[in-house]
A and B are shown apart, each in its own frame.
Chain A
């Protein structure tokens, strides 16, 4: 991938993000020789945008994904990119596919920062349960992409019902260090490489709280307590820092996949996505990140972010949250519907995520729950601003904000035309474009993806 023109383009677009700096640095640093040599990108993306035609959607209400709104707007997509966006006076070129969006809404594609599609696929049988390597609490060496089953029917449902165009697939939360995440475009493909978002930085999944201590406590081993969680984390970071120092100094050492991931975290190349419910635990983890000199990009399942929204703002950490989940386990006991708007109002970064193959089909409705609850307590967030929870905010936290996450000229043409206001329960995606290619059209049954798993079975091709 590094040799392709696409990569160079993306590296240029990426300038300013952690991922881009990392990518540039990699390119500028001559590869060291010896047993410690890491291949730069051993499982490269083979994704290429599918063919699209120059397309204009006019007349729709546009939420641009960064908080902007255009009524009666015009969007022009060409060569996989947003070429123009503006009000009703925006010139419309000849020879384009022209769609009337009157009475409809246009948004950037939904981005889910927390999904297990492909690694916990449907059907949910043991043979397809590949999300949690629960044989050790420290598994930064596993990569979620090596578990992804591209034939998971959940991807197509997320596209057709949820308007999801990009998603981060994470390992599960049984382990303290769960492994590397991967970001994919929501296109059907034969291989995970065919879905992989070109140039997106990797993430590291970490988890605090009940899951690791329960899983390993039940096995009679460390960690069995929250202090055990922190102790194992800290011991691991000590080793990682040693590894990273040697690597940076070009010293020879045996390759260690887990340490490579953690060293990349310490160098800012891999973004930390930390599953953490409770406010007090998040505060401990923030201090740990300072102790070892890494940055936490986002807390996921952050049901108590509202209690420390000020702290999260000061530390520039995003919270990825559900609309209304609460109480299913002790650390979720204090979940409230106003979490998202309270975090937003405090000036911290708020993201609505799914963690669920059903929830991902209705992230717009999850955001609506939060929006309504916020307004009821006097937090009056306009619709177009709330859309940032599903667009630019997750894009930033995934290191892909220069490429997608909003409808700005030059960005990927990842676009959803909704048949009404997307915060209404009565609204569904009408058309979804990914990199300018029409990948879903509710009016065209042939544009409903049917996975290999479903093909030839009852229900294949049915409206879902």
Chain B
């Protein structure tokens, strides 16, 4: 299957595709509409909405009774960096390396990793790929990828730098939050020194915190060219993060985690910092999440924060498909007295256009607006219901296989007993 789809991946862009009759959600926060049409031409969305004309000669797909959304975007993942987390040789999420900020995950992404196919089958078409820290507080430069069945996964390499604050940052910095904040500031100062006079920056002296390549990698961060994703959970850690702009005003911040973000939502909104949250955190799983609640996302959105959802705690390499469950549960909260949820359209936005915008790619992916990439999913029911699944997926206008080794195992063992020959001959 993989080999076939790889050769078939060379797109035949010429013909337009029109998907008609669906319950259609654009992904921009608006609510779904009945009997919508999406037109894809040349790998891009041409139009989507009610009353959209089907161009002459378009291949028309009748999606009546079905739902259509943009391909989903995972706001926080490690997909493609790991095949089996528990098998070290397949796990490229972090390293005990002499390098940190300079690490670039893009060339390590394996587009043939099974979790990519599994996620694609579930309607995830793009993902933010976040490196994990190995030595020190900076993890390196993350990427945005597509999950297409081809060998070119990169949407944007070096899309952001990643740094740990809060409990993990403290641990990475030797044991305290104060040390993490000081380390952060001193490292960014070294990057500024590097930027002023690259030739004279001595990354080898024992006083240097950063070697030359790591210092160079932090230059676009300190100048605000490259976004900086900072992991912080507690209210006070979030405020410490926002305060870093007093020393480094150009920082283009993205907050990851923010389990207690609702407590300081007005400050986050005022700072115009987008947040990528886990959504379903509601336990004091650590002392930095004492105030965790599933209403966190809803309360932040209500306060004007741009919130996306991603996988924050585990299975970040595998379970991108939980995005629909995260979003669906935000809708469920609307019926719980005292809770703050999201409308259906807002919930879908947290797993489509919001993460795209947080990555600075809002003009390219994440919604079905004209000019965006032709990432489209047809679902057999409401995509936020756990009983629903995609029936067709396009990425950049190329129809994708929705088989994977799990569907093959399912088919092989539809009947568990062996026939005349062993199961190994059934494929």
Q: Which residues of A contact B14 (CB under 8 A)?
A: none
Assembled-state Cα–Cα distance A153/B281 (Å): 13
Using CB atoms, name the residue of chain B closest to A323.
B386
Question: Which among B285, B337, B386, B410 is the interface contact of A122 at CB below 8 angstroms?
Answer: B285
CA distance A423 to B414 in the complex (A): 24
Say whether A324 contacts B319, CB under 8 Å. Answer: yes
Q: By the criterion CB–CB under 8 Å, are A123 and B286 in contact?
A: yes
Is A306 engaged at the interface, CB distance under 8 Å to the other chain?
A: yes
Residues of chain B lying within 8 A (CB to CB) of residue A309: 416
The 8 Å CB contact of A154, one of B283, B290, B331, is: B283
Are B414 and A342 in contact, with the CB atoms below 8 A? Answer: yes
Specify which chain B residues have a CB less than 8 angstroms from the CB of A123 in the assembled complex. 284-287, 289
Query: How many Å lie between the Cα of A299 and that of B250 in the bound state?
Result: 56
Q: Given the known A-B contacts A310-B417, A442-B336, are A338 and B410 also in contact in the complex, defined by CB atoms under 8 Å?
A: yes
Does B144 lie at the interface of the complex (its beta carbon under 8 Å from any beta carbon of A)?
Answer: no
Report how far A371 CA is from B114 CA in the complex, Å.
Answer: 23
What residues of chain A lie closer than 8 Å to B319, measured between beta carbons?
324-325
The answer for the CA separation of A308 and B413 in the assembled complex, in Å, is 9
Are A464's CB and B85's CB within 8 A?
Answer: no
- What A residues does B62 contact at CB under 8 A? none
B409 part of interface (Cβ distance < 8 Å): yes
- Cβ B283 vs Cβ A307 within 8 A: no
* CB <8 Å contact, B318 and A328: yes
In whole angstroms, what is the CA distance A372 to B381 when docked?
Answer: 10
Given A308-B416, A309-B416: A372 touches B285 (CB 8 Å cut-off): no
- Which chain A residues numbered 358 to 403 have a C-beta less than 8 Å away from chain B? 358, 361-362, 365, 368-369, 371-373, 375-377
Interface range for B: 35 or more
**B282 on the A face (CB < 8 A):** yes
**Does A459 touch B at the CB level, under 8 Å?**
yes
Of the listed residues A161, A310, A372, A426, the one surrounded by the most CB atoms of chain B closer than 10 A to its CB is: A426
Whether A368 contacts B387 in the complex (CB less than 8 A), given A334-B409, A336-B406, A342-B414, comes out as yes
Chain A hits for B406, CB < 8 A: 326, 335-337
Q: Which of A198-206, A247-255, A290-298, A450-458 contacts B (4 or more CB under 8 A)?
A: A450-458
Tell whether B86 is near chain A: CB-to-CB under 8 Å: yes
Chain B residues near A310 (CB-CB < 8 A): 416-417
Q: Which residues of A contact B118 (CB under 8 A)?
A: 326-327
Which residues of A sit under 8 angstroms from B293, Cβ to Cβ? 459, 462-464
Nearest chain B CB to A363 CB, angstrom units: 12
The answer to whether A210 and B410 touch (CB under 8 A), given A306-B416, A463-B295, is no
Q: How far is the CB of A340 from chain B (nearest CB, A)?
A: 12
Contact of B111 with A by CB under 8 A: no
Q: CB < 8 Å: which of A328, A358, A420 contacts B85? A: A328
Contact of A463 among B318, B338, B386, B389 (CB under 8 A): B338
CB nearest neighbor in A for B387: A372
Given contacts A342-B413, A428-B336, contact A329 B385 (CB under 8 A): no
Let me know if A213 is at the binding interface, CB within 8 A: no
Q: CA A456 – CA B118 in complex, angstroms?
A: 44
Given A122-B284, A327-B318, A426-B331, A365:B292 Cβ within 8 A: no
Q: Which residue of A lies closest to B283 (CB)?
A: A122
Closest A residue to B86 using CB positions: A329
Expressed in whole angstroms, the Cα–Cα distance for A334 and B295 within the complex equals 35
Q: Flag whether B294 is at the interface (Cβ < 8 A).
A: yes
B410 / chain A contacts, CB cutoff of 8 Å: 306, 336-338, 342, 377
In the complex, A333 Cα to B86 Cα: how many Å?
Answer: 10
A274-311, CB < 8 A from B: 306-311
In the bound complex, CA of A310 to CA of B416 (Å): 7
Q: Are A328 and B86 in contact (CB under 8 A)?
A: yes
**Docked-complex contact A346 and B387, CB < 8 angstroms:** no
B60 close to chain A: CB less than 8 A = no
| A399 CB to nearest chain B CB (Å) | 27
Say yes or no: is A125 at the interface (Cβ < 8 Å to chain B).
yes
Name the residue in A306, A326, A428, A443 with the highest tally of chain B Cβ atoms < 10 Å from its Cβ. Answer: A326
Cα–Cα distance between A346 and B263 once the two chains are bound (Å)? 50
Judge if A157 is at the interface, Cβ distance under 8 Å. yes
Let me know if B12 is at the binding interface, CB within 8 A: no
Q: Which residues of A contact B337 (CB under 8 A)?
A: 442-443, 463
A323 to B122, CA, bound (A): 14
* Residues of chain B within 8 A of A443, CB atoms compared: 337
Minimum CB–CB distance from A411 to chain B (whole Å) comes to: 28
B315 contact set on A, CB distance < 8 A: 325, 328
**Knowing A327-B114, A329-B86 touch, does A342 contact B291 (C-beta < 8 A)?**
no
- B294 partner residues in chain A, CB cutoff 8 A: 161, 463-464
Q: Are B85 and A372 in contact (CB under 8 A)?
A: no
The answer to whether the Cβ of A315 comes within 8 Å of any Cβ in the partner chain is: no
| Least CB separation from A367: chain B residue | B386
> Which residues does chain A contribute within 8 Å of B361, judged by CB atoms?
none
Contact B385 A425 (CB under 8 A): yes
Q: Are B290 and A426 in contact (CB under 8 A)?
A: no
**Cα separation A458 to B291 with both chains bound (whole Å):** 6
Given contacts A307-B413, A327-B115, contact A376 B385 (CB under 8 A): no
Whether B241 is near chain A, meaning CB under 8 Å from some CB there, is no
Contacts of B290 in A (CB 8 A): 454, 457-459
The answer to whether B84 touches A330, judged by C-beta atoms less than 8 angstroms apart, is yes
Check if B332 sits within 8 Å of A426, measured CB to CB: yes
Q: What are the residues of chain B within 8 A of A342 when measuring CB–CB?
A: 410, 413-414, 416
Q: Does A42 contact B (CB under 8 A)?
A: no
Q: CB-CB < 8 A to B386: which residues of A?
A: 323, 365, 368-369, 372, 423, 425
Binary flags per residue of A426-464, CB closer than 8 Å to B gives 1, else 0: 111000000000000011010000000110011100111
B336 touches A463 (CB 8 A): yes
**A-B contacts besides A346-B416, A362-B325, A459-B291, 16 pairs, CB < 8 Å:** A123-B284, A125-B287, A161-B282, A310-B417, A325-B315, A326-B318, A328-B85, A328-B86, A336-B407, A337-B410, A425-B329, A427-B335, A457-B290, A463-B295, A463-B336, A464-B282
Which 10 pairs of residues, A with B, have the shortest CB-CB distance? A425-B328, A372-B387, A329-B86, A459-B291, A368-B386, A463-B338, A464-B282, A458-B291, A122-B283, A463-B339
Give chain A's interface residues, CB within 8 Å of chain B: 122-125, 153-154, 157, 161, 210, 306-311, 323-330, 333-338, 342, 346, 357-358, 361-362, 365, 368-369, 371-373, 375-377, 419-420, 423-428, 442-443, 445, 453-454, 457-459, 462-464
Q: List 5 A-B contacts (CB under 8 A).
A: A157-B283, A330-B84, A336-B409, A362-B325, A443-B337
